[in-house]
Structures are given as structure tokens and as C-alpha cells.
Amino acid sequence: MSQTRHVPVMLQRCLDLLAPALEVTGPKPPVVVDCTLGLGGHSEALLAAFPEARLVALDRDKEALRLSGERLAPYGDRATLVHAVYDELPEVLGRLGIPKVQGVLFDLGVSSMQLDEADRGFAYAQDAPLDMRMDQTTGIGAAEVLNTYPPGELVRILRAYGEEKQAKRIVSAIVREREKEPFTNSARLVELIRDSLPQAVKRTGGNPAKRTFQALRIEVNGELTVLERAVPAAVQSLAVGGRIAVLSYHSLEDRLVKQVFAAGAANTAPPGLPVVPERYQPRLKLLTRGAELPTEEEVAENRRAAPARLRGAQRIREEER
């Protein structure tokens, strides 16, 4: 079941970006980290494409780990699956005794499985309990955020994480309704958003609840906070010559990745130095011109690929001690 419904996004392009670092032969097998295992589509392709490579794969969702564990079982001890959030990468590599890796892949956002399992509450298209936790063993769900956060905080979240222009209007309606009865299910929230928006807004840009659901999901899972730590940590874990590829699905994620890569690829020397000392030289080389988009053919085959943005970089220098 999981294999048929899950189509990895921009798969061949991700493999091509990472290939030069993973085809290198040496005394030890190259290590590639899939920071967002999900249902294991990218991981399986990495193991198949690079038969020498060893895979370390992280996911905070125990059900994803169980399903992908079955999928990757044929690869035996070449695959190490770890229950962890991706900003825990340095600790995970430390425990495994891996000082540096040759490749890192992030496929951000919600996995297909989480969207497809109705009872997780990620999808606005079907009624479900408002949970949205990627790791259901920890933290608070979306219903608690809606029912307990002060109005100003809810407005901030919808604006910052959902880029929702109608945040104030939606939050006013939420606050009014939660006083009558706390929110528990997604259908009531979708209906409330629909009812609170002007006609003109509802005519454009797909489901009007989309941005609010995105904002709640990011808040519940601390996604941007985690990503802010995770991308620099992943760059840090790359050996010289190692490569990183990151798939983002909204502008907030993509902007963050872009900033980390741009900072790594910049010369940080004070202006006017005749010779730039080693410590000011760029640590990264950008492998993509801006963000690459999926092809029209891929979007036609897999609509979830439509918002994807891919950026890649290569480690070209060690940190100065």
C-alpha cells in the first residue's frame, strides 16, 4: 500500500545532485543521511542507486519508521533508521560514531502518509480530530493551540507561518466560536474559515483553509525553529566534497535554506584585503541556480510535487578551528 501511493518528489534530480559525493570509493563506504525518511521512497532509491553507500534515516513519526522499516528490510544493515527530529542529527551521528557524512537529503513538509491517514488531522479535505503532531507521543495538538492561545498569538502564527492576509478576521471568528464550544475536529474549522472570509478571497487560490492549516501544523511541530537549527547542523556534518539537497514546499522553508546556503557560499573577509585568508573563504559551493522546480510532467503525475523547490550545495572547505 505505502509503495503505490507514495511518489518521491524530484527523485532523479535529488539522486543526480548527490551522486558525485556518493559514488566516491574509499576505505570506508560513503554515508548518506535522509533527514526526513517518511515512507522511505527517497531512501530506497538512494540505497538502490549507490550500492556502496550506507544510509542513516531519521523520522519523528513512529508509524513512518515502522512502514519504511519493512520497505528497506531487504537492504539489511546498510540502513540504520532512527526515531529523531532532524535537528538532532549531530547527536544521532555522534551515537553512531560517524564523524562526517558524504550526503544529506531533506524532503520537508508533511509526508504523504500523514496527509493520507485521515485521523491525523493534517488534511483540510476530510473531517478528523485536530491533531497534526508528526510525533504523536509528544507535545500539544492543533486543537489545544486553537483553544488556548491568546488571540494575538494566533494572529501572529497565521501571518508568519501561513502568510494569511485575513488572519485577524479568521482569529476573531475562532475566538468567538471557541468560547461557545472548544474545537476538536477539522471540518468545523474549515467551515468557520470559509464563513469568515469575503467572497472575493474565496474565489482565488484553492481551499481557503489551506494557509491556516499550514500555520497550525508548523506551530504544532515547531517546524521552522527545528529547520533553523537543522540545516546549519547538516552542513556542519558534511565532509569536504559532501553534498546536501533540500526540498522545500513553501516560501518560509525555502527562504531559510537559501539564507544558510548563501551564508556558507559567501566570502566573509573584510573589504579591501589584497589576499583573502583561508578562514574567510566560502565553505559551500551552490549546486543549483536559485531554487529548481519540478517539471510539468512530474506535477501532472504527482500533484504534491507542485509547490516543491530544490536547492543543493557542496562542502568545499573545512571549518577553521
Q: Which residues are annotated as a binding site for S-adenosyl-L-methionine?
A: 40-42, 59, 86, 107, 114
Q: How many residues are recorded in the chain?
A: 321
Rounded Cα gap, residues 238 and 15, in angstroms: 17
3-state secondary structure of 190: helix
CA distance 30 to 51: 10
Under 8 Å between Cβ of 69 and 140: no
Rounded CA-CA distance 321/263 in Å is 18
What CA dihedral angle connects 252, 208, 300 and 63, to 10 degrees?
Answer: 70
Cα separation, 43 vs 106, in Å, equals 11
Strand 309-315 relative to strand 238-248, pairing: antiparallel
**Which residue positions form the known binding site?**
40-42, 59, 86, 107, 114
What is the residue type of 186?
S
CB contact at 8 A, 121 and 141: yes
Q: Give the residue from 151, 165, 141 showing the smallest Cα distance to 219.
A: 141
Bridge partner list, 309: 248
Neighbours of 119 (CB within 10 A): 9
Q: Is the separation of the CB atoms in 82 and 33 below 8 Å?
A: no
Q: Which of 180, 197, 8, 174 is nearest to 106 (CA)?
A: 8
Where are the alpha helices (H) located in the chain, listed in sequence order?
A: 2-5, 11-22, 41-49, 62-72, 89-96, 112-116, 142-148, 151-162, 167-180, 186-196, 199-202, 210-221, 223-237, 251-264, 296-301
